[in-house]
Structure 1
């Protein structure tokens, strides 16, 4: 059950970060993203490239059966990038979006902890804890997304 929950979380995160990173690298649609108009273009491209690389590192090692230790490192790195993104939303006084990014970061962190055994021997929190945490985070993200979309003046692409 834990392997399925982690795999599903990795797939969802990989798609999220792929589609979040592409506009930053390509330079299209950045006006829809909070705070990127104030960043230098090279920094925006670097952030987008990191998100794309992280998304690939979440799914390619398990699919290829090589370098499995990359997955928990990518998940941890994406958690850090996502927590920093919450600062953009807080600065723009977008509390629901800040909460959403924190939830995404928690999901990344949960994948990092769940896949930590691929990196080294370490503490094992076990499936009894991690699978429900992933479920709660996914439900929380869904509820938060509905709240964002129902907010006055909300647009589905404003994240």
Structure 2
């Protein structure tokens, strides 16, 4: 179970660390080719989502690694479940039916919640 957690959480953390950092530092024009939704979202909100993603990635890795506040790992994973539910809704509201990545991330985050809660 521990190895499975580190594999799944590590991949999820890497994805969100990269995606969050990109949202936090790139301009709207640089984000637009990858994320059409940035046109309908204020940039401070895009930046905030990026910072939340980076912090969530740290929450998946640092607490179990250090043993300090290990309850933060399942909380971070649950936060990513909520984030992807909202992201899927935004895509669908904007008429974008390409939500396979969002649903994959949602399922991966849900598995991570389960694995984190089952860790010794």
TM-score (ref. length: structure 1): 0.67
Aligned-pair CA distance for 1:87? 2.1
In structure 1, the gaps of 5 or more residues are: 119-159
1:86–1:99 CA contact under 8 A, matched in 2: no
Aligned-pair CA distance for 1:117? 4.7
**Aligned CA-pair RMSD:** 1.6
1:61 and 2:60 are equivalent in the alignment: no
Moved over 4 A (4+): none
Q: How many residues in Structure 1 have an aligned counterpart in Structure 2?
A: 116
Q: Deviations over 1:23-67 (max 9, x none)?
A: 211034311213012111111111111101000100111222211
In structure 2, the gaps of 5 or more residues are: none
1:34–1:88 CA contact under 8 A, matched in 2: no
1:17–1:52 CA contact under 8 A, matched in 2: yes
C-alpha spacing 1:47/1:36, structure 2 compared with 1 (3 Å) = same
The equivalent of 1:14 in structure 2 is: 13
Aligned-pair CA distance for 1:89? 2.6
1:100 and 2:106 are equivalent in the alignment: no
The equivalent of 1:112 in structure 2 is: 113
